[in-house]
Structure 1
Amino acid sequence: MADCPHKRIRPLGEGAVGDVHLCVDVFDRRLVVVKWLRAEVHENSEAAVRFTREADLMLGMNLFGVIRVETWNVDDYGRTWMAMEFVDGLVPSAVIRPGDGWAAHRLIEGVGRSLDELHGDGVLHRDLKPDNVLLRNRSDGWEPVIIDLGIAKWLSEEAATTTGSVFGTPHYMSPEQFRDTKHVGPATDRYALAVMCYELLCGRPPFDGRNLPDLLQQHMNAPVPPLRVPLPAQAHENGSTLHGSEQRVVSAPNIDRFMQRAMAKDPRQRYSSSREQSDAFAQAAMADGLWAAPAQPQPLFPPLEMPTIQFSSPQEPTVKRFDVRAGPIVLGRHEACQFQVSSRRLSRLHACIFTHRGQLWLADLHSQNGTVFQGRSMTPGIPSPLPTDGTVASIRLYDREILIQAVPGPPG
């Protein structure tokens, strides 16, 4: 058993058997994501078996567009934990607007390539959905990353569930998955990817039953509804909306034909690979006029204009600078901290400054005596935004006041 070496910054999600936190790795100066199972979840329980199975499956995998799991263990309190790389990005629906066929294709192409690599390694996802994909920020736009393989299985192994069980998220499950989770193949993942694409284009999923039996019947028997794609109101060249214009809703007959095959009830009638599926979608979106590639793809978040953070203290004349692009800055009395404070009333790892989604943040790391920012006590787990315009901000770590400021120029 080994305690998790990473300090919690803030929660990212919570489930029935565990939770996920954004954490800092002070030794390697980076952000990581850690999943914890609750202590009451027994080590030999079905949830714990699936959890460690996912960790073992992903450990050491280095596939395109699939989050990397780095390590896992069980701590002294009996909690199983798993550490993964941090992906700085947004959910697909926050970036891809309805009717944006170019962006939808970028998602299908990227996720599809990852699926083909997973399938080539004998791994089936079985629960592909928007919550399991993030769009990672890049200087030339974004790229999709599969961030969760929670119920993935090796194709060559027996499934962990019994024949006839339902395992997945109903809105994105294929007909064969409703019938028997144990006997599904790569076509199931491609079906879910097509459902995600439909939802992004229309703003709603193709099937949305009032209850699970109704949803099951639609996936298994109902034809795929024709797309009704909402487009933004027409605008002047200067960007203002034309007077009296309303949102338009258009059909997409070529994408309709694509969806009929991509979501065919019989998996043998669907596309034979994710590459074939993404190419077919691109042709359909262009034919329907739902394709507007940007001249210059922009990153999701603008880069910090002043990425150098300057630290000073009224008690000490020394000024220190750190480039936040090199990673988080941890404050405390531990020798691994980037900014060390000698007071023994401080926690070894007391507070942290980091960037996330283009913003600079300060977080208290569940410290012993707390952190005060601009005169207010911080709540652990709730980071506060820091000024990035050169304004000086005050941090008090128990009895030590520290002034921080974003400044131009290299660190020193």
Structure 2
Amino acid sequence: MSEHISRRKIFGLGAAGVAAAGAGAIAARSLLAEPPVVHASSTSGAFPFYGEHQAGIVTPAQDRLHFVAFDVTTTRREELTGLLQEWTAAAARLTQGRDAGASGAVGGPPEAAPDDTGEALGLPASGLTLTVGFGASLFDDRFGLAARRPAALADLPRFPGERLIPEISGGDICVQACAHDPQVAVHAIRNLARIGFGKVTVRWSQLGFGRTSSTSRAQTTPRNLMGFKDGTNNMKLEDDDLVRDQLWAAAEDGADWMAGGSYLVTRKIRMTIETWDRTSLREQEDIFGRDKNEGAPAGKKNEFDPVDLAAMKPDAHVRLAHPTAHANAHLLRRGYNYVDGSDGLGRLDAGLFFIAYQRDPRRQFVPVQMSLAKNDPLNEYIKHVSSGMFACPPGVRDAGDYWGRQLFA
């Protein structure tokens, strides 16, 4: 064969691609140009990159996360748009199980750095999705975007009891990498950061494992580090009317470039694990309003039994967050557990990296979180230490499009 095909490309092709590679270079070249898309029914498949909406939002939640927030260091608009075009092209390749660079991971002149860092060679696509968002700080006077800042991208209010650390909050641009293999997710972020050298710097990042929400009815409900099923009543991709009304931004919302996009809120919530573990089962269940074993709402037997708010305590977490208490406001949650080692006293630095998508945080996340911050007894066991909000534009339509093109048009 006259051209190098990396093991990662071969895995991205699937069995048909491997057979074609053995049959001849012409067939292999054709398959590499248009790799087949597997709808990630297994943990090794690939989700489509191009579409009306960005992948990684209603996509069935994968098992691993690498989330990063960047600060833009260039002050030249054309350099920023050029970077977004480079990132988009790399993301289109990476999500299909290919290398970050067009020339291949070990291609190009030996005197130059390779186009891909190489740690994902031999690994399949693993359901990788890459989702980009723009923070409010990007809409300052550097790039002429101030007038295009959506009203829904308003600064979050200060919530009672929060102890935010500025160094791990905010950011100009975020990228959410989700995959079933942590090395695939880390590889993707590492290569985007490498491509962005000299134009962006990493402000903060977060690794996550063990999804804490289901975004499809085909998925079982996972558990958070407090041991409770999390996200039983989460909005699901199959809820067509709810998704249209509560998740996707529309042109009539006031920012036409965001039509088909969504607003992302992140919160790093540290849990005082050791204190929680010494709390009685009855108190734990009263705090959540659910049975710990089955996940059934108070007074019921099964997880998906209808919630009876009157059967639980007035300040139960489920009751305070329920849509009926907030003008039918829903969130699409797709958060992750995290463990960042331990502190100097031997206590786990662990908790929930909360991720929620919605049409307008002012009507959805803000009222729900304000109610929880003021009244939720769970606050005795948690503290919010970081926060971010980002406008995630619509999807990339084809190879001639790029992340955020509508914003910069």
TM-score bracket, normalised by the shorter chain, equals under 0.3
More helix by percentage = 2
Which TM-score applies when normalising by structure 1? 0.25
Q: Say which one has the larger Rg.
A: 1
Higher relative contact order (CA 8 A, sep 6+): 2
More strand by share: 1
- TM-score, length of structure 2 as denominator length: 0.26
